[in-house]
């Protein structure tokens, strides 16, 4: 738990230094578990489960207001997946922080109105095929997607897809969406199966072991991604 009262007394100097250092390393910063910057579930240290706790508010408006005053063009976006309460969206809207859309979650029985379906996006979002916590696209289609989810996906793209084609079609859906930013795990660009999955939430072994090797970045892969990036207006001017 952050001691927000102490941090506030220093005008969040530790956070300002931390964000500045990250900006020296990365183009954009995703704040994971963004809802914790608005309120988080506090559990006494002697509890063995998370059942007995309470929601504790954080000074979100003051904190982000201070950051924005120090770093006016702060290129951050919010990981707002899962159950998000209205106060979290209020903070995101107040500071115009983009939220996240994950295509693997879109093909439920409420596809026409699902917030992760591309036709429902606004511009101020970041779209992913999947994240470090999901299966790869190929692994999802082969081992996790229900027959109905596969049927909805095929209907959405207008044709049936083989397991070797599906990752490129989800990449295409992301690129052609109006979302401001599109991000793909390398495993999806390479069309890898579930054995290349990065992380399995709730498990403690076998995670974060996949590594990219130079020979996997083939000229044909680079050309295909470049052509799609240009086609959908996402190439640098």
Tens of pLDDT, residues 200-211: 999 999 999 999
pLDDT of residue 210: 97
Angstrom distance (rounded) from CA 87 to CA 90: 5
Residue 122 pLDDT more than 90?
A: yes
Average pLDDT, the chain: 96
Q: Give the per-residue pLDDT at 1.
A: 86
Angle value at C-alpha 177, between 71 and 164, nearest 5 degrees = 115
pLDDT at 82: 85
The pLDDT value given to residue 236: 84
C-alpha dist (Å) from residue 70 to 8, 20, 27, 43, 60: 14, 10, 17, 32, 15
Catalytic, out of 5, 27, 32, 87: 32
Which entry of 5, 42, 62, 79 is annotated as an active-site residue?
79
Check pLDDT > 90 for residue 83.
no
173-199 tens-digit pLDDT:
999 999 999 999 999 999 999 999 999
Catalytic residue, candidates 61, 87, 109, 133 = 133
Query: Is 79 one of the annotated active-site residues of the chain?
Result: yes
pLDDT value of position 224: 97
Model pTM score: 0.92
């Amino acid at each position: 738990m952050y001691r927000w009262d102490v941090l506030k007394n220093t005008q969040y100097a530790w956070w300002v230094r931390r964000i500045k250092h990250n900006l020296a390393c990365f183009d954009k910063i995703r704040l994971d578990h963004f809802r914790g910057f608005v309120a988080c579930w506090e559990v006494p240290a002697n509890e063995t489960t998370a059942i007995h706790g309470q929601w504790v508010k954080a000074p979100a408006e003051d904190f982000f207001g201070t950051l924005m005053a120090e770093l006016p063009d702060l290129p951050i976006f919010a990981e707002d997946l899962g159950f998000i309460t209205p106060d979290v969206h209020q903070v995101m809207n107040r500071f115009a922080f983009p939220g996240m859309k994950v295509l693997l979650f879109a093909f439920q029985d409420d596809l026409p109105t699902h917030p992760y379906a591309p036709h429902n996006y606004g511009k101020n979002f970041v779209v992913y095929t999947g994240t470090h916590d999901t299966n790869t696209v190929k692994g999802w289609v082969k081992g996790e997607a229900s027959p109905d989810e596969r049927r909805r996906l095929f209907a959405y793209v207008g044709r049936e897809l083989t397991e070797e084609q599906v990752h490129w079609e989800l990449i295409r859906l992301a690129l052609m969406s109006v979302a401001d930013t599109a991000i793909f795990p390398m495993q999806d660009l390479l069309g890898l199966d579930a054995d290349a999955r990065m992380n399995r939430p709730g498990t403690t072994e076998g995670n974060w072991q996949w590594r990219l090797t130079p020979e996997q970045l083939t000229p044909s892969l680079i050309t295909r991604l470049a052509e799609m990036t240009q086609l959908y207006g996402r190439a640098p001017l």
